[in-house]
Structure 1
Amino acid sequence: MEKNTSADGVPPRSREGHPQGAAGNAAGGRHEVKAVELADLNLALRERLKELDCLYAIASIIETPGITLEGILEEVVKVLPPAWQYPEAACARIRLDDKEYRSFDFEPGSWSLGSDIVVSGDKAGTLEVFYLEERPAADVGPFLREEKRLIAAVADRLGRMVERVRFEEALMASEERYRDLIENASDLIQSVSPDGRYNYVNRAWREALGYEEKTVTDLRLEDVIHPDDLDHCREAIGKVFAGERATGIEARFICKDGREIRVEGRASCYMEAGKPAYTRGIFRDVTERWRMEEALRESEERFRAIASTAHDAIIVADDMGRVSYWNPAAEQIFGYTPDEALGRNMHELVVAPVYHEQYMDEMSSFRESGEGSVIGTTKEMIARSKDGKPVPIEASFSSLQIGGRWHAVGIARDITERKAAEEIMLAANRELEAFAHTLSHDLRTPLATAFGYARMLENYKALNLDEDSREWLGEISRSLSYMDVMITSLLAYARAGLSGGDSTRVESSRVLEELLQSMKPALEERKLEIEVAEDLPAIQVDAVRLRQVLQNLLDNAIKYGAGTAARIYIGARREGDLVTFHVRDNGTGIPAEKLQSIFDPFVSLKSGEASSGLGIGLSTVKRAVEGWGGAVWAESGRGEGTTFYFTAPAAE
């Protein structure tokens, strides 16, 4: 097969393989681009939701009252695999110091992604996620770029959490003994007196907020805490002075230069003689994490906004079949408002009776694995609207996990108008086919009769015809024969555009071989040199239509070839689900001013010269190729030869 080189001169193509520009199909492209964009957005949304769910789960585990460090790590390692793109093949392991924590059914696979757990600037352990089975290549091996950032963020959070826990334990044991350690901690540590004045802050606190050590004792809570957060922070401090521990405190601290940072942490109270002496607060700067979470929330809002304005119905249902999301397009197509649809079973709403048994049979397996016969597919089917009427739709289905439960996502397009148009087209095709059959019979029958009598008269010796009479009868026979050729060509042109024919797997090499064998006398007469690439790809078209296309292109190349030195090259290449064929000759070429009209019917390339055809060979090619959903175009120049291209769907 010929390689895809610049010598081919193949113009740039869209994702679907159709050429861009005058020969492309711009109208269909816009719909396909929308479908692809929507699918990409849907996939990105699912992954971001899982990552956000993982971060929230870890935050909840860490803030569980009374939980130990070991308990935190045991729970965290369990929530990591579901956050990955292929949770069914994922497992996780946390190594910290001399201990190891593993997720369920852990095995060290061949594909891993890891990040160091750093505590106080030193590596204390590792966080690793493994794939037990090979998965498609992504940004980092089989892993996504976002998964690399997620594991780094979780490892960083675990490191900081370990730091904080160890620092708290150290403070509880002996504040003086670990004074230097606190001073150099990466968390923000502070002490506040009952009157709201700062007694002490560590180096990380001072560096984060931009204050010098000597000025800290002049600060009060209202100088540091954002006005909107001051009340709930004072409430938390009041609980601490009352002997309670305050955890999960979130606030905005105002830096010396006016910047805001977001912190979260916990506080306790040091008592002297039974009275509160000062608070001990340990906070962490979570500004970057907050920005990331805000970005995720904004991203989710954008996706929801897109889904709300989409022309396709977008429906999400949980593992019990209950609808949890229903966009406006779903209301328009199926008639149910969101209030009517949310919480109800898909079975009751839109599933047509013909699919009920399959739907019920597959729900249990979907509930366990998120799999089903329609998951990951796009199908045409009949749905049911609120008024009970059938609605033809084209729907794609996928699954994702939310909160540890499988959910189904369906994207459906109402194809009622398309189906009606197809029915009209089929009816028109049937009518045209009947007309063509009638035309063929009604015109050819008298032609055959007239042609037969003319030949009989020409050969009837008893008439003693003179030379002029014989010439006249010969001209009648030739005219009748030419009229038969015209009728045959017109019928071929009409039938080429009826439909794609009977689409089957066709070995294009075999079709071309049989065609060249049938054309052997004409090829030998012209002494043509024909080169065919090896192993032409198999395609999914009607074999008769393919032969018709190749024969017309070869006839054209022979007719306009370079005399006795004519050479023709035939090749093809496959790109995804599309095969592009090309037929190249070394003939005189086609002037630029004619290149755009060569596929129009009744256009002859030899202006002013006698021609045995009607000028519909290339237009027949165009109708046949477009009938099976392909495209055809040409590249040429005067004296440079011509290359004709056409596309066809590749056979599976």
Structure 2
Amino acid sequence: MFNHATTVTPLELKPAIIRHPLIVEPDTTVIDAIAQMSGVRACCLTTKSVDGRLDEMYLEARSSCVLVVEEGKLLGIFTERDVVRLSAQQCSLENVAIREVMIRSVITLYESHFTDLFSAVNLLQQYSIRHLPVLDDQEQVVGLVTHESLRECSRPVDLLRLRLVFEVMTNEVICAAPDSSMLEIAQLMAKHHVSSIIIIESRGSQTQALQIPVGIITERDIVEFQALGLNLQTCLAQAVMSTPIFTVKPDDSLWIVQDLMEQHLIRRLAVTGKEGELLGIVTQSSLLKALNPLELYKLAQLLEKKVVSLEAEKVALLESRTIELEQLVETRTLALTVKAEREKLVGELAAQICSSLSLQTILDTTVKQVRRVLGCERVNIWHFQPDWETVGVAESTDSSLSLVGERINDICFKENCREIYRQGQVRIVRDIYAIEMSDCHRQMLLHLHTRSKILVPLLCGNQLWGLLNATESQYARDWQESEVELLQALSVHLAIALQQVTTHQKLQKQLSDRKRIEFTLHRLNQDLEVRVQQRTQELQAREAQLRDLFDNATDLIQSVAPDGRILFVNKAWKETLGYSDVDLEHLSIYQVIHPDELVHWHKVMLSLFTGSMCLSIETRFLTKDGREIIVDGNVNCHLKDGIPIAARGIFRDITERKQIETTISQQVERETLLREITQRIRQSLDLQTIFDTACQEIRQVIGADRVGIFKFYPQSNFDDGEFMAESVVEGFPSVVAIRVHDHCFGENYSSLYGKGRFYVVDDIYDGTVTTCHTDILAQFQVRANVVMPLLCGEELWGLLCIHQCATTRHWQQSEIDFTQQLSNQLAIAIQQANLYEQLHQELIERQQAEEKLTNSNQQLGISNQELARATRLKDEFLANMSHELRTPLNAILGMAEGLQDEIFGSLNEQQLKALQMVERSASHLLELINDILDVAKIEAGQIKPDYTLASVAYLCQSSLTFIKQQALQKGIEVEVKLQNNLPDVLVDERRIRQVLINLLNNAVKFTPEKGRITLEVTWLCDNLSANDLPRQHFLRFTVSDTGIGISPENIKKLFQPFIQIDSALNRQYAGTGLGLTLVKRIVELHGGRVGLTSELGVGSCFMIDLPYTPSCALSPEITADDKTSLTSQVYSPTINERISLAPVILLAEDNEANISTISSYLKAKGYRILLANNGQQAIEVAKSEHPDLILMDIQMPGIDGINAIRQMRLDPNLVFTPIVALTALAMTGDRDRCLEAGASDYLSKPVKLKHLVTTIQQLLNTTKDDK
């Protein structure tokens, strides 16, 4: 068993040596040594693989000590315990050399002697050390051996499974309070020579105060403190301790300790009791105790004793099992004998029934034989009379008291048990004092000397004839199932005998009556023939009339005999219930009446047949296929000679009406609850109160076992969360504040719930729910559930969960719709609270921004003075440079032109070429100077566009003229695409042409031969501008080519002055790097924007968007003289003009949170706001102020939103004013009602504010266009 744990080969011992330990020189400072120890720890691995675990162990060992070596010789060792000792003494370690504090007498082990595991273990235990340096034969340091490395090398799996924690744990544990300082902790470690201190809290119990471990501080923590230079005296233990502390029980195996240490990369575990109190501590050193040879020997002896004990127990168990089997055979033999005797009794009784027609003989024989087989005190048979009084007709007993002829009138039986016995159920009573029954029934049984009984019904056809009763009078008795089965079998044969005898008696009576009647009829036949014929004709005619009347009636008409037989039904009755004439022959009214209505129906029949002439009744019938219908009508009693012979009734099917009434009632109740919850949401921002109230009322209305509101943890990817509120039926567990982790929810369900999907499950075990989800639901005893998403804006905030725990449940559509409506209301509450919190946060941030702005303005005031001086100097420089650079170039270009015209004499071809080269170079230099000066002037703000209305087509064609020749030379195809009906655009035509020429030149330059260039112009419209103000119109000029393309990392460099994307392009393609910079500056000067998409080897696409105003661009009345003033109006409105032009919006809302949120947002977007807190005030403000648009909340106090809209539309000044209806109900038909009342649009809460602004601006634009 212990071979692997104890016999380790030298080769297997090699990994126990930790190579490359930390080595320092004697003059190294203590602080540097501690820093090296801490630095090694920072590189520890966190993986749990085998190699990773070994690496972690090696790094732990290296970081726990340093070896002091000089000239290859080991002088001493400095460990974590030494750091603790120095910390406890409060020694200053700044300039202390390691030689002054190291341990000089070092216990070492030669690698050549390390051939046995126990030799190293004994050294560690003998000298109470944790580090054993290993040297080679030349006394050079090879490595270290520690407790951990020895344990990892031995891996005593079998041994650790057999040893328990209490055998090796340390009972005396050094502890400290959480408010102890780290200095006190270090002093405790040094004083008691321990490597860790357990942090405890005291907790009182019934007998004594318990020490509960809450954390642990180790030598490693002291080392880290010293490495960081922290103050031990001011830092408390509770801020530093590792928590929670990992614990084990005293009776856990050491294998569990080993596994926990490896899993969590720790060295120590606390040992706790049943109440969590601290009992001891187990460390790596404790595990090594299991490897002590003496301990192994003791364990072997103990195991040997256990084996002997188990062998003895095995023999005893086999002997006991043999005896049990023999007893079982005897028991089964006896049971088979009794069963055979009972089957014989049943057979004899069946034979006697077949051979005899004497009912009394059969009954007497039955009770005698039954008592003989059962061995009970008394067996008797009771017979029911027509009034349900019982009479004893047969009995077998040794008692002198006979119950034959005894009459019993049991009122309790008539009310409760008659129908039960009619259905063949058996009544078994072990002890009348041990079960619940009425006092009158118990008194009756005592009168009949009955303490325990079996009561089996005897049926004659479908009628309850009597009862077979076996009783004990003195003692309680546990009736066996075989005894019950015997009586049931006998009751079947007795039923046959009863039917047989009854039939025989009826036949005898019928024969006797027939002879007498035949004689009388023969005598009267002749006298009655004529009268009968006449009467028959009259009755036939009347019957035909009545039959026609009944069959044409839509009501259900019936006639029922006192015993329940159906005497007559009309056509509507048969069609409604689905029965045919054949079915009616054997049908009883009690088979048609719903089982739950039978007791009430019996009372009605009894009342009719005892004197009541007419009763109004509402009851339920069952159709032939099992459907339930509800009928309402009247019943009366048909008398003949004063004797009731039938109950007649006329009923009307009211099933549909009842269903409608029930539906309406439920709908009203749910709508009432919905409005109440909505009102609470509008009146409160306390989510917890809203959640608690909603859960309680939803559970009461729907009748579920649990209703809860679940919230996801942020940053959990929808896999974790907890229930914020719940309402649960007593008996089921609460789920509030329990962390729920569902690792498959975020991946499989969150996106669906985020889109508004919900889930309805009638049974979580029907296969539609994933296994991981089923396991979580089963923890909370859920069998069926409805889950609705709770959205905050477009984000999934949580879930509304409705649980049925007791059993499965089929959820009705009305319940699902109701739950969905409530989830929408709860989503409104959540978003409303979030919006309020966001608004509050925005106000705080705005205040902070204003403070920062004030400080920045002060700094800017100083900077502006310096900037003004720099700008003035820059302007002077640009003016001088423009003059000084252009003047010499003008002379060069003029002289070159004069020479080419041969003004100064004739030229040869070589001189002409030289002059052309001079002219081209000078022209290029002039263009470069112009570009540089243009960029500088634009940046300095010295260039103002000269705006004119320009034709887009002409602008494009005139720009293409400059590059057509170059494109033709390279065989490049140039294409122009202009969208139809493009307007003229108000731009600086020269500058924009400069932009297009620059882009087209670049396209030709970087497009290879046979390529393609496209110039395309389209118009586009942003949905919203940057501030959500009215939409912005643009003309987009696109220059695309099939050139070399640009890599993504080089795109950012394109628009910087004097930069091309790489040096290779500079050599291959000429250019200054200013063209695109100038393009960007000119376009931005026009209020436009520049875009670029490109792909290497495919081509590039440059886009410039120029803003334009349709009303100005298309106006035919603009003249050249008016262009400047028009541009000023379009692009430079003053602040006062913008305020006066801001639309006025009337917000009719009674909820303060909504008022604050919506009004603040709209004001920030440039709108002016009027407020009204109720419907009447909204009407008055609208009539007096004439707002541009009205936001009307539908649920308003006083006059609601619908009626307020109707009254506003009656005012001629408000007929065309846009009105947006806001409602939180989102009920079916709300939108149509709002629009019918006169609303221009309809939005359901929660309203997205950006969508609200879009709707407002669209309605305002539409109204402006109509005007």
Higher gyration radius (CA): 2
TM over 0.5: no
Q: What is the TM-score with the length of structure 1 in the denominator?
A: 0.37
TM-score by length of 2: 0.21
Q: Which has the higher contact order (CA 8 A, sep 6+)?
A: 1
